[in-house]
Amino acid sequence: MPVRIGRWARQWYGESTRWGSALRNMSGGNWFMIVFLLLLAAFMLLPLVYIFNHAFKPLHELLLFPPTFIVKDPTIRNFVELLSLTKSTFVPVSRYIFNSVVVTVLTTIGMVVTGALCAYPLSKHPFPGSKLVFGTIVISLLFVSEIIAIPRYVVVQSLGIMNTYWGHILPILALPVGVFLLKQFMDQVPNELLESAKIDGANEVRIFLRIVVPVVMPAMATVTILAFQSAWSNVETSSLFMQDDSMKTLPFYLSTLNSGMANSVARQGAVASGSLIMFLPSLLIFLFYQRKVIATMAHSGIK
């Protein structure tokens, strides 16, 4: 134990010495850039500070104008109110949360897998009409979901998956931006590397799983974040394809808390706490994959 502590202390002392010498040797321009970036980071953190403090504000602070960033009298009453709103109904809030978790996990996995399987042949095995297919995928980025709402409803009803988890997953399974990002990233993988793997006897599945996927893992992490945010905040499937309240998700429930009411004051505490619950998973997913996202941005500039 003393040896480990001594080794850790020497390592820490060495690191601190190097950092100290680096700070002493920095020019005035570098110091200005560091201060500027710190101020910019603090400014960008203001929305996070606001949404966390907003969820714990009592009602009189929620309606205060001008609004304050820091809560003065924090309370958990907003979360209690959110949980108690469904006591008089047949569907508790825990059911909405469960539906959101199941749908989000399955949809995110499906989006990433289908995106990678679609991008791989477009990038490394071009076929007649592959450019037309990829062009169609890129053009689809220009359209909003409302344009295809009616055709999508007809398809879902014809498949008989209304009021099922498949009705949540299949309509939003395609993620064009994920296919575009993965395809552009796979284009950077040398074809000679794949040819050498084929010479060594590797089949397509092995090449895809052992060579292509590890190389494009930063892009897949970015697609995971985009897919998670798209699935977690989706309200369309609950509104159009779910008539049974027990099959609807948390975002839909939160959107109905103060809709249709005579004023916008009631249930503001529940809405604030619900907004924090909706925001936390996206924040945690981003923090978990932030290094991969930075690697994606770095590689995207390499030609």
- Domains of the chain in start order, with CATH, are 83-300 (1.10.3720.10)
Closest CA to 125 of 195, 20, 48: 195
For residue 103, give the H/E element and its range: helix 93-124
Residue predicted with more confidence, 62 or 24? 62
Contact call for residues 62 and 54 (beta carbons, < 8 A): yes
What are the tokens at 242?
């779910």
Q: Give the pLDDT confidence score for residue 303 in this predicted structure.
A: 44
The CA distance from 83 to 141, in Å, is 38
Q: Whole-model pTM? A: 0.76
Signed CA dihedral, 243, 145, 147, 182: sign only: negative
pLDDT confidence bin for 18, thresholds 50/70/90: low
Express each pLDDT in 84-143 by its tens digit: 776 666 778 788 889 999 999 999 999 999 999 999 999 888 888 888 998 888 888 888
What are the backbone dihedrals phi and psi of residue 158, each rounded to the nearest 5 degrees, phi first?
-65, -35
The CA distance from 3 to 253, in Å, is 57
Express each pLDDT in 242-294 by its tens digit: 888 888 888 888 887 766 444 456 677 777 787 888 888 888 888 877 776 66
77 burial type by CB count under 10 A (0-12 exposed, 13-18 middle, 19+ buried): middle
Rg (CA), the chain: 25
C-alpha of 199 from chain center: 39
Closest CA to 270 of 80, 101, 96: 80
Express each pLDDT in 196-255 by its tens digit: 888 888 888 888 888 888 888 888 888 888 899 889 988 888 888 888 888 888 888 888
Mean pLDDT (whole number) for 171-176: 87
